[in-house]
């Protein structure tokens, strides 16, 4: 057996066999990669156009909040305050003091705005699994007037963190 491995002919045969095996393996992998179509978005049914990206103008305006509670004001940049993803656009609205500064306590500012809006007919929507508004912090709930949803998107971790509300449509644009 060792004599066969020392033979030049046997070595050339083994090297050729390994090279042919590698080439065949690479070719099979290439054909499998080409044959597999990449995943793409489903095509729109015949006669219908594909859904378009949402228009930033579809985001609710800050005016849906009405007048701010006493001592507070709303601020939203018409361009930078709107953020869109594939389905919808939302508007970020900062809650500021009347002087235009961040409130000292962002949680208290959000609670004040929530209670003010509920006094003006907005309804509270509780998170899943919560049965009573007393069981959850107000900022973890949603408010709706039937057409607009409001959520607290503030980072209450810092001492001088800003209070930010996120406004979105209560229904998806396609409905």
Q: What are phi and psi of 24, to 5 degrees?
A: -65, -45
Strand 142-144, strand 163-169: pairing: unpaired
Band of residue 46 on the pLDDT scale cut at 50, 70, 90? low
* pLDDT confidence of residue 112: 92
CA dihedral 149, 152, 153, 154 (to 10 degrees): 160
- Across all residues in the chain, what is the average pLDDT? 81
The Cα 109–Cα 115 span in angstroms is 10
Residue ranges per structural domain of the chain: 2-32, 56-169
Q: Could you read off the pLDDT of 96-144 as tens digits, one per residue?
A: 988 888 888 888 888 999 999 999 999 988 888 888 888 888 878 888 8
**Would you give the end-to-end CA distance of the chain in angstroms?**
78
Q: Could you read off the pLDDT of 71-107 as tens digits, one per residue?
A: 999 988 877 788 888 778 888 999 998 888 888 888 8
């Amino acid at each position: 057996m060792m004599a066969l491995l020392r033979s030049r002919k046997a070595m050339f045969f083994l090297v050729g066999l390994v090279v042919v095996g590698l080439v065949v393996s690479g070719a099979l992998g290439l054909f499998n990669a080409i044959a597999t179509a990449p995943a793409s978005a489903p095509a729109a049914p015949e006669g219908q156009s594909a859904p378009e990206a949402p228009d930033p103008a579809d985001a609710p305006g800050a005016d849906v909040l009405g007048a701010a509670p006493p001592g507070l004001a709303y601020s939203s940049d018409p361009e930078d305050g709107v953020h869109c993803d594939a389905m919808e656009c939302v508007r970020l609205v900062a809650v500021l003091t009347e002087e235009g500064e961040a409130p000292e306590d962002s949680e208290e500012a959000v609670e004040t705005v929530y209670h003010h809006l509920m006094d003006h007919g907005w309804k509270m929507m509780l998170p899943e699994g919560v049965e009573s508004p007393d069981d959850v912090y107000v900022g973890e709930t949603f408010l709706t007037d039937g057409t607009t949803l409001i959520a607290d998107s503030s980072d209450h971790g810092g001492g001088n963190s800003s209070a930010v509300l996120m406004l979105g449509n209560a229904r998806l644009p396609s409905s």
